[in-house]
Amino acid sequence: MSQSSPLLVFDLDGTLAETAGDLVATLNVILAREGLPPVALDDARKMVGAGARALVQRGFAAVGRTIDGPPLEKLFQDFLAYYEAHIADESYLYEGVVAALDRFEDAGWRFAVCTNKVESPSVRLLEALGVSSRFKAICGQDTFRVADKPIFKPDPRALLLTVDRAGGLPADTIMVGDSRTDIDTAKAAKIPVVAVDFGYTDVHVSELGPDRVIGHFDQLWDAVVELRGRT
């Protein structure tokens, strides 16, 4: 493929894969270790999407506690250790993902992942789900650093650096995500964004101003064709 092959950059949790079951189960293990009550899956779905550290903080807030500083960092590491050991107990790719990747790949597209999940469990999850080799780059919240500070969404540099690592060009890239964070990141990077409406968000994605909204991966091809035609 040429350097300018078009690129689809996907968010991971709530976009490519339903992962809330394993993430919330891990959160509840951490809460139980601290003597705190569990958070219901339906209530916790909207907490997912900003990374494990934020999920721990939101889980504590949901049961009336705050946590920060070194105690948060310790529980964050505990979270990662447990989660990586249970990376795909319940997680699965959304219906239509593989067929969509096949169709776009046949048409000459490359793929990458830009997620606020830590890179290592992101790679392990996609390996467990059998699709890691499909992506030219799998980038997480700890992949990129500038002046020793991590660069992650909604900072547009996280998306632009992912595009570069995957060998793409911003002008030939489309983002696919499920949340305000994804949409804001893509807009700031001046990259068109398709939002799925089945992910993790506290408001319907149509209210957040994406370029297109889809309810199934079968609709992604037409959405991308429309966006490419528009530009």
CA dist list (Å): 113 to 14, 31, 59, 72, 141: 13, 29, 26, 26, 11
Q: In this structure, what token pair is assigned to residue 104?
A: 């776009």
Q: Is 89 a catalytic residue?
A: no
pLDDT tens, position by position, 14-64: 999 999 999 999 999 999 999 999 999 888 888 887 778 889 999 999 989
Q: Read off the pTM.
A: 0.92
In CATH, the architecture of 7-18+91-230 is 3-Layer(aba) Sandwich (3.40)
Active-site option among 11, 22, 155, 178: 11
Say if residue 159's pLDDT is above 70.
yes
Q: Could you say which of 1.10.3210.10, 3.20.10.10, 1.10.150.240, 1.20.1740.10 is the CATH number of the domain covering 20-85? A: 1.10.150.240
- Structure-block tokens of residue 175: 């983002």
Residue 2 has pLDDT above 90, yes or no: no
Outline where DSSP puts E strands in 87-148: 92-93, 110-114, 137-139, 144-146
Q: What is the pLDDT of residue 42?
A: 85
* pLDDT of residue 1 exceeding 50: no
What are the backbone dihedrals phi and psi of residue 47, each rounded to the nearest 5 degrees, phi first? -85, -15
Per-residue pLDDT, 143: 97
Distance CA 58, CA 198 (A): 21
Summarize the confidence of residues 122-137 as an average pLDDT: 97
| pLDDT of 213 over the 60 cut | yes
Domain borders along the chain are 7-18+91-230, 20-85
Average pLDDT over residues 161-177: 97
